[in-house]
Amino acid sequence: MDPLPPLPDGRNRARTGYVLGGLAVLFVALAMLFLSTMREHVKPRKAIPLVDTKFLATTPWRQTYADLVKAKADLSDYDCYGCHEKNKPPTLRFDENQKIIVPQEHVNIVMGHGSHGRNNLCFNCHNDKNLTTLQVRDGREIGFDNIPQLCGTCHGPNYRDWEAGAHGRTSGYWDRSKGDIVRLSCANCHNPHSPRIPTREPAPGPHALRAVEESKPHDAAH
């Protein structure tokens, strides 16, 4: 068995202590220098503005007839037979380009359902024999509270996506034991006479988790 190495004498132990102490002081100094350098380069973050509450609203931007009935609103504008005669379909007039002439009483209606111009007829959707109902392609009458059934007769793929929850907006509860789901109607987003949704301001993008330096334009001389 090899003999144990001799223990260092007092001078060697003292020298080792000085070296270790010096290294500790050096590391502390380097750490302080590193932290002070970081503090100089870190810029204060700009305050993140709050998101405009309009982007958090869940109320649809349009109300349907069913919404008005539920809210017990004034439905006098929907009283068709306040002006039209029952059992007498209204007469439609067209200009020289076969574009429907909207009566003065309905001047707020802008006909723009489809770019092809073939849906330029009130009675494609409204029931000419009963103005209080709508009619689908096969002649069935449906109420104003069942608009998706009407839209689905022409827009089949969109209607299937809507039923599956992929088109439109569905809110409420995933867990049906806690509550029902709420599915918007087509007319909550689309104006039936001009279905194209107007351009809307997009919601702001996400903020970075750390400060991002603003890019500077390149010097033209370089």
- What single-letter amino acid sits at 159? Y
Please state, as a whole number, how many other Cβ atoms lie within 10 Å of the Cβ of residue 93. Answer: 9
Other C-beta atoms lying within 10 Å of the C-beta of residue 196: 11
Q: What is the pLDDT of residue 137?
A: 83
CA distance 105 to 102: 8
> If DSSP codes are grouped into helix, strand and coil, which group holds residue 150?
helix
Mean pLDDT of 161-189: 88
Q: What total number of domains does the chain contain?
A: 1
Residue 202 lies in a domain: no
pLDDT of residue 3: 60
- Which amino acid is it at 153? T
Task: Confirm whether 40 is domain-assigned.
Answer: no
Structural domain contains residue 52: no
Residue 48 lies in a domain: no
The range of the structural domain enclosing residue 109 comes to: 62-188
Per-residue b or e along 205-221, where b marks 16 or more CB atoms closer than 10 Å to that residue's CB:
eeeeeeeeeeeeeeeee
Please say whether the beta carbons of 133 and 141 come within 8 A: yes
CA gap 143, 134 in Å, rounded: 6
Sequence-distant (≥ 6) Cβ neighbours of residue 169 within 8 angstroms: 60, 183, 184, 189
Provide the residue count of the chain: 222
* % of the chain beyond a pLDDT of 90: 27
Per-residue pLDDT band for 38 (boundaries 50, 70, 90) equals: low
Model confidence at 210, in pLDDT bands (50, 70, 90)?
low
Instruction: Please give the C-alpha separations between residue 24 and each of 17, 19, 21, 166, 186, in angstroms, as whole numbers.
Output: 11, 9, 5, 64, 73
Residue 195 in this model has a pLDDT that exceeds 80: yes
pLDDT of residue 201 exceeding 80: yes
Q: Is the pLDDT of residue 187 over 90?
A: yes
Map tokens 């007498």 to a residue.
88
pLDDT surpassing 60 at residue 7: no
Distance of CA 176 to the CA centre of its chain: 24
Domain annotation covers residue 216: no
Residue 193 pLDDT grade (very low, low, confident, very high; cuts 50, 70, 90): very high
Is residue 77 over pLDDT 90? no
Question: What pLDDT score was predicted for residue 127?
Answer: 93
- Residue 141 backbone dihedrals phi, psi, to 5 degrees: -95, 135
Q: Which residues, in sequence order, are CB contacts of 188 under 8 Å at separation 6+?
A: 60, 61, 62, 63, 64, 67, 168
The answer to the question of residue 168 being in a domain is yes
CA neighbor of 186 nearest in space, from 202, 162, 166: 162
Q: Contact, 193 vs 111, CB < 8 A?
A: yes
- Does 215 score more than 60 pLDDT? no
Asked if residue 52 has pLDDT above 80, the reply is: yes
Whole-model pTM over 0.85: no
Q: In this predicted structure, what is the pLDDT of residue 211?
A: 57
Q: What is the mean pLDDT of the chain?
A: 82
| pLDDT exceeds 70 at position 100 | yes
pLDDT band at residue 48 using 50, 70 and 90 as cut-offs: confident
Each residue's pLDDT tens digit, 14-31:
777 777 888 888 888 888
Distances (CA, A) of 63 to 4, 70, 143, 201: 94, 11, 16, 20
Q: Is there a domain that residue 139 lies in?
A: yes
Residue 182 has pLDDT above 90, yes or no: no
